Structure 1
Amino acid sequence: MIEFINLNKSFSKNLVLDNLNLNVSEGKISAVLGPNGSGKSTIIKCLLGLVLPDSGQILFDRQPIRNTWQYREKIDYLPQIARFPENLAISELIKMITDIRQQQGDSEALIELFELSPFMHKKIRHLSGGTRQKVNILLTFMFNNPVIILDEPSSGLDPVAIIRLKDLIHRERDNGKTILFTSHIMSLVEDLADEIIFLLEGKVYFQGSKEEILQFSDKPNLENAIASIISGDIPDPLKKKHLANYL
Structure 2
Amino acid sequence: MIQIENLYKKFGRNQVLSNLDLDIHGSGIFAVLGPNGSGKTTLIKCILGMVVPSSGEIKVQGSTIKKNWKYRQEINYLPQIANFPGNLKVKELIRMIKDLRQKDSMEEDLIKLFGLDPFLDKKLSTLSGGTKQKVNIVLTFMFDCPLIILDEPTSGLDPASLIKLKELLLKEKNKGKTILITTHIMQFVEEMSDEIVYLLEGNIFFKGTVEQLKSKTNQTDFEHAIAAIATQTSDA
Q: Does 1:185 align with 2:191?
A: no
* Cα distance between partner residues in 2 of 1:35 and 1:68: 31
Equivalences for residues 190-209 of structure 1 within 5 A? 190-209=190-209
* Structure 1 runs, 4 residues or longer, greater than 6 Å off: none
* Cα distance between partner residues in 1 of 2:212 and 2:143: 34
Which secondary structure state, in structure 2, belongs to the residue aligned with residue 171 of structure 1?
helix
Equivalences for residues 166-245 of structure 1 within 5 A? 166-232=166-232
Amino acid at match of 2:148: I
* Cα distance between partner residues in 1 of 2:223 and 2:32: 14
Partner in structure 1 of residue 41 of structure 2: 41
Amino acid at match of 2:141: F
- Any unmatched runs of 5+ in structure 2? none
Which secondary structure state, in structure 2, belongs to the residue aligned with residue 59 of structure 1?
strand
Equivalences for residues 91-240 of structure 1 within 5 A? 91-232=91-232
* Cα distance between partner residues in 1 of 2:17 and 2:177: 26
Contact 2:200/2:233 (<8 A) preserved: no
* Cα distance between partner residues in 1 of 2:95 and 2:233: 51
Which secondary structure state, in structure 1, belongs to the residue aligned with residue 3 of structure 2?
strand
Kindly state the Cα deviation for residue 3 of structure 1 after the two structures are TM-superposed.
0.8
Which secondary structure state, in structure 1, belongs to the residue aligned with residue 206 of structure 2?
strand
* Cα distance between partner residues in 2 of 1:14 and 1:228: 26
Partner in structure 2 of residue 27 of structure 1: 27
* Cα distance between partner residues in 1 of 2:198 and 2:25: 14
Amino acid at match of 1:171: K
Amino acid at match of 2:118: P
Contact 2:87/2:123 (<8 A) preserved: yes
Partner in structure 1 of residue 51 of structure 2: 51
Cα RMSD, aligned residues only: 1.3
Which secondary structure state, in structure 2, belongs to the residue aligned with residue 87 of structure 1?
coil
* Cα distance between partner residues in 2 of 1:82 and 1:193: 24
Would you say how many aligned residue pairs link Structure 1 and Structure 2?
236
TM-superposition CA deviations, 1:178-201 (whole Å, max 9, x none): 000000000110111000111111
Kindly state the Cα deviation for residue 10 of structure 1 after the two structures are TM-superposed.
1.0
TM-superposition CA deviations, 1:1-28 (whole Å, max 9, x none): 1111100001111111010000013201
TM-score (norm 1): 0.93
Residue identity (%): 53
TM-superposition CA deviations, 1:205-226 (whole Å, max 9, x none): 1111111001111112221111
- Any unmatched runs of 5+ in structure 1? 240-247
TM-superposition CA deviations, 1:100-120 (whole Å, max 9, x none): 001111111111110101101
Amino acid at match of 2:122: K
Kindly state the Cα deviation for residue 233 of structure 1 after the two structures are TM-superposed.
7.6
Amino acid at match of 2:199: L
Which secondary structure state, in structure 1, belongs to the residue aligned with residue 134 of structure 2?
helix
* Cα distance between partner residues in 2 of 1:53 and 1:77: 19
TM-score (norm 2): 0.97
Which secondary structure state, in structure 1, belongs to the residue aligned with residue 56 of structure 2?
strand
